[in-house]
Amino acid sequence: GTERPFTGELLDENREGIYRCRACSAELFRSTTKFDAHCGWPSFYQPITDTIEYLEDNTHGMKRVEVRCANCDSHLGHVFEGEGYDTPTDRRYCINSICLVHHAPGEDSRSSS
């Protein structure tokens, strides 16, 4: 499932830190790779190495690539390529806020923000 755009609690999160999988706490994205793609979901241009699995998604009459946590197989969102974003990878990982927990440096990893 996908949360409605512009409703997720982490959309405007701009603090330094790590975004972890809400289900298993695997580290997924660094805050330094987050950018405002104006799409309504937290967007990143690169995951932490080997933390994401990619699956073809042809639902809703579209051809997309679903991204899942490589550790626990939780649905995270979708990745889009070649859309002209001014990022080092020209990729946009649109991730549902409900799937993530943000941890700022020095914050207890058992708490969520």
**Torsion, Cα of 100, 105, 110, 111 (10° steps):** -70
Query: Is 94 one of the catalytic residues?
Result: yes
Do 58 and 39 form a contact (C-beta atoms < 8 A)? no
Catalytic residue among 21, 24, 72, 94: 94
Give catalytic residues, as residue numbers: 94
